[in-house]
Amino acid sequence: MTTLHDFKLDAIDGGPRDLGDLRGKTVLLVNVASRCGYTPQYAGLQKLHEELAPRGFTVVGVPANEFGAQEPGSNEEIQAFCDTRYHVTFPMLAKIVVKGAGQHPLYQWLTTAAAPPGDVKWNFEKFLLDGRGQIVGRFGSGVAPESPELRAAIEASLG
């Protein structure tokens, strides 16, 4: 059975990132973009990360440019934007393709295994994974980081 922990990607700074290192953590995986109407969600994601990290939670940002070309920058530009605008401290992966031709295997798995299955619809779609790397929730772009439904799902996964 495939889990989040089976994937190895590049971190935004170019180094390797083995998602197996997240074993035991509840993870909120979010495809992000710097020029989207949902971009202000970075603030809420950072707040969630800071508040819940001591309990074994992390956000992981995954830059993607499939929706309205709203993430055109290089990894270096994206990292600088996140650092200066939102003071992001949660892990950020290198930009990948989350939908369509060239879709990364991570997103092939996520969009097949999640309930409901199907393509990512827009930036800031969220996949919640438990400490075993299993998908336990999927939330659309309009579900804000501070929304009660997302918060309840994270709390349930944390135990």
- Residues labelled as active-site residues: 36
Angle of the 75-86 helix axis to the 41-52 helix axis, nearest 10: 80
Asked if 23 and 5 touch (Cβ cutoff 8 Å), the reply is yes
Q: 3-state DSSP call for residue 141?
A: coil
Whole-angstrom Cα distance, residue 44 to residue 65? 21
Name the burial class of residue 45, with classes exposed (0-12), middle (13-18) and buried (19+) by CB atoms within 10 angstroms of its CB: buried
The enclosing H or E element of 31 equals strand 26-32
Rg (CA), the chain: 14
Asked if 132 and 141 touch (Cβ cutoff 8 Å), the reply is no
